[in-house]
Amino acid sequence: MYKPEAEIQFPKDFLLGAASSAHQVEGNNKNSDWWHYEELGKVPKSGLATDHYNRFDEDFGIAQSIGLNAMRISIEWARIEPQPGTWDMEAVEHYRKVLQSMKQRGLTRMVTLQHFTLPWWLAKRGGFSASNADELFARYCVFVVENLINDVELWVTINEPEIYSRMTRFLGLHPPFKKNIISALWYGHCLVKSHKAAFRAIKKSFPNVKVGIAKNDVYNEPARRSHWLDRLTAKVMNYFGNEYFLVRISNELDFIGLNYYFSHVVKLSLFGGYETVNRNAPMSDMGWRTYPEGIYHLLLDLKKYHKPIYITENGIANSSDDMRQRFIFEHLEWTKKAMEQGADVRGYFYWTLVDNYEWHDGFDPKFGLVELNNETLARKVRTSSEIFKQIKIG
């Protein structure tokens, strides 16, 4: 297995963590839209997921033991507000315990308020495209922040608005399985509106809390640098994929969260549109090509917003665990290089801590630093997690 000799040094206060989301780990998320469609057999069943709902303390203990100092989790709207306007205080108390366990384990807490799932009652009305969804989302966010303000350091409103719109409304892979470009574009617009409403409402009541978004950016590079058409193709793709959302919310952000998984080599297709050229690079179990240098270019590009940046997700599905160490190390090396060029990066969260429910792919992809036995739910730390010993902070 690849074992770098070198160490990477990050400044004091740099966050080194792992990311997860509620529906993918907690289990029994019965009031959500996903659960509804799982029961109908339209997507794999999440069941107990990793049973993180009960085993959170064990998980945070593992995170601490492998050298992490932060975690990004998400709160499930469907648990907090199972019916419109009905707040479940037991759910709030549960999350308080979760957050306090993180603190006891020395983990800085980043919390996402909406990560791909919705309460079923809202999904039935069209989700974020319901007429007053922005107000409902802002109301839920303020309620959560008000109750958990002392237990969270960083808040993220929405996870990957563009991927969420694409998967649910364009590719039809996630509930409600629509395949309609207009509806996907409209949904993206509604997510921008909802993010803004939530940001403003939170900041109005609690001006000092830090609120950002987790944005999936793709690094597109031209197949032939010398060819202006290829350069233009890459530019257009970077604009619509990466900038379009951020430009519209750049006044409503305390920090930017970057989720980085994809990079494409693009050229203009003879038939109109674009085509991607295969990069000769190692491939994950999901068929995703890895390209650590891409994170460097994206981070430098984000400098123009003059905001602190957290890498809120970056990870690889790799069941044999033979690629993960190199993957993490090289992404951190390129992150460090971007910081030396002035990118204000404050932390890195690997996706994910424990193998989990990967949406429509079920439990097959193995992203975890920790292997999950799907029968017994036992956790086994993977060798690759030793890489964090080579990352120094301070």
Residues that bind ligand FCB (CB under 6 A): 21, 159-160, 163, 216, 259, 313, 351, 358-359, 367
Q: By C-beta, is 160 or 230 nearer to ligand FCB?
A: 160
DSSP 71: E
H/E element holding 264? strand 263-268
- The answer to whether 262 touches 315, Cβ cutoff 8 Å, is no
H/E element holding 137? helix 133-148
Cβ burial of 215 (10 Å; 0-12, 13-18, 19+) is buried
- The answer to whether 225 touches 278, Cβ cutoff 8 Å, is no
Q: By C-beta, is 201 or 258 nearer to ligand FCB?
A: 258
Backbone torsion region of residue 74, taken as left when φ is above 0, otherwise alpha when ψ lies between -120 and 50, otherwise beta: beta
Q: By C-beta, is 32 or 233 nearer to ligand FCB?
A: 32
Q: By C-beta, is 115 or 231 nearer to ligand FCB?
A: 115
CB of 50 to ligand FCB, least distance (A): 13
Return the structure tokens found at 20: 């997860």
CB of 281 to ligand FCB, least distance (A): 18
CB of 206 to ligand FCB, least distance (A): 26
CB of 272 to ligand FCB, least distance (A): 28
How many CB atoms are closer than 10 A to CB 203?
16
Q: By C-beta, is 135 or 321 nearer to ligand FCB?
A: 321
The count of residues in the chain is 394
CB of 271 to ligand FCB, least distance (A): 29
* CA distance linking residue 164 with residue 155, whole number of Å: 18
CB of 75 to ligand FCB, least distance (A): 14
* CA distance linking residue 255 with residue 305, whole number of Å: 9
How many CB atoms are closer than 10 A to CB 177?
15
* CA distance linking residue 231 with residue 237, whole number of Å: 10
Q: By C-beta, is 34 or 351 nearer to ligand FCB?
A: 351
Return the structure tokens found at 6: 């070198």
CB of 21 to ligand FCB, least distance (A): 5
Q: By C-beta, is 79 or 231 nearer to ligand FCB?
A: 79
Q: By C-beta, is 58 or 358 nearer to ligand FCB?
A: 358
CB of 213 to ligand FCB, least distance (A): 12
* Phi, psi angles (nearest 5°) of residue 261: -130, -30
Q: Is the peptide bond before 11 cis (omega within 30 degrees of 0)?
A: no
DSSP 15: E
